[in-house]
A and B are shown apart, each in its own frame.
Chain A
Amino acid sequence: MEKAFASAAKVIEATYEFPYLAHAALEPLNAVAMKTGDMIEVWGGHQMPDLYQFIVSQVAGTTPDKVKLHVMKTGGGFGRRAVFDADVVAEATAVAKALDWKHPVKVQWTRDNDIKGGRYRPAYVHRVKAGLDASGKLVAWNNHIVGQSILTGTVFESMLVTNGVDLTSVEGASNIPYAVPNMKVELSTMEAGVPVLWWRSVGSTHTAYAVESFLDEVAEAAGKDPVEFRLAMLEKSPRHAAVLKLAAEKAGWGNELAEGRYRGIAIAESFSSVVAQVVEISMPKGGDLKVERVVAAVDCGTVINPDQVKAQVEGGIGFGLGAILQEELTLTAGKVDQENYDAYTPLRINQMPVVEVHIVVTDAAPTGIGEPGVPPIGPALANAVYAATKKRVRVLPFAKGYSA
Chain B
Amino acid sequence: MITVNINGTVREVDADPDMPLLWAIRDVLAMTGTKFGCGMAQCGACTVHMDGQPIRSCQTAIGDVGAAKITTIEGIGGKVAETVQAVWAELDVPQCGYCQSGQIMSAVALLSENRKPADGDIDAAMSGNLCRCATYHRIRGAIHEAARRLEA
Q: Give chain A residues whose Cβ lies under 8 Å from the Cβ of B42.
A: 111, 340-342
Contact in complex: A76, B96 (CB < 8 Å):
yes
Does A322 touch B at the CB level, under 8 Å? yes
User: B90-126: contact bitstring with A at CB < 8 Å (1 yes, 0 no)?
Assistant: 0010011111000000000000000000000011001
Contact in complex: B137, A28 (CB < 8 Å):
no
Identify B96's interface contact among A74, A110, A342, A348, CB under 8 A.
Answer: A74
Q: How many residues of A contact B (CB 8 A)?
A: 37
What's the nearest-Cβ distance from chain B to residue A374, in Å?
10
Contact in complex: B135, A314 (CB < 8 Å):
yes
Contact in complex: B96, A340 (CB < 8 Å):
no
User: B7-41: contact bitstring with A at CB < 8 Å (1 yes, 0 no)?
Assistant: 00000000000000000000000000001111110
Q: Give chain A residues whose Cβ lies under 8 Å from the Cβ of B96.
A: 26-27, 74-76
List A101-134 residues whose CB lies under 8 Å from chain B.
108, 110-111
Does more than half of chain B's interface fall in helix, strand or loop, or is it mixed?
loop
Contacts A28-B36, A76-B95; is A352 near B132 (CB within 8 Å)?
no
User: B123-141: contact bitstring with A at CB < 8 Å (1 yes, 0 no)?
Assistant: 1001101111111111110
Does B43 touch A at the CB level, under 8 Å? yes
Closest chain A residue, CB of each to CB of B106:
A349
Closest chain B residue, CB of each to CB of A316:
B134
Contact in complex: A26, B134 (CB < 8 Å):
no
Q: Give chain A residues whose Cβ lies under 8 Å from the Cβ of B135.
A: 311, 314-315, 318
Contact in complex: A28, B37 (CB < 8 Å):
yes
Contact in complex: B38, A352 (CB < 8 Å):
no
Does B81 touch A at the CB level, under 8 Å? no
Contact in complex: B37, A352 (CB < 8 Å):
no
Does B45 touch A at the CB level, under 8 Å? yes
Does A25 touch B at the CB level, under 8 Å? yes
Identify B126's interface contact among A26, A317, A322, A349, CB under 8 A.
Answer: A349
Complex Cα spacing A311 to B136, Å: 10
Complex Cα spacing A307 to B139, Å: 15
Complex Cα spacing A317 to B95, Å: 14
What's the nearest-Cβ distance from chain B to residue A23, in Å?
8
Interface residues on B, range: 20 to 34
Which of A74, A308, A350, A354 has the most chain B CB atoms closer than 10 A to its own CB? Answer: A350
Complex Cα spacing A73 to B133, Å: 15
Which of B129, B137, B140 has the most chain A CB atoms closer than 10 A to its own CB? Answer: B137
What's the nearest-Cβ distance from chain A to residue B145, in Å?
15
Contacts A315-B135, A348-B130, A349-B136; is A342 near B40 (CB within 8 Å)?
yes
Contact in complex: A111, B37 (CB < 8 Å):
yes
Identify A349's interface contact among B36, B97, B127, CB under 8 A.
Answer: B127
Contacts A26-B132, A111-B38, A349-B127; is A311 near B92 (CB within 8 Å)?
yes
Identify A322's interface contact among B95, B134, B137, CB under 8 A.
Answer: B134
24 A-B pairs within 8 Å (CB atoms) are namely A24-B132, A25-B132, A26-B37, A26-B98, A26-B132, A28-B36, A75-B98, A76-B95, A76-B98, A76-B133, A111-B38, A311-B135, A314-B137, A315-B95, A317-B134, A340-B38, A346-B130, A346-B134, A347-B136, A348-B127, A348-B136, A349-B131, A349-B136, A355-B137
B-binding residues in A (CB < 8 A)? 24-28, 73-76, 78, 108, 110-111, 307-308, 311-312, 314-319, 321-322, 340-342, 346-350, 352-355
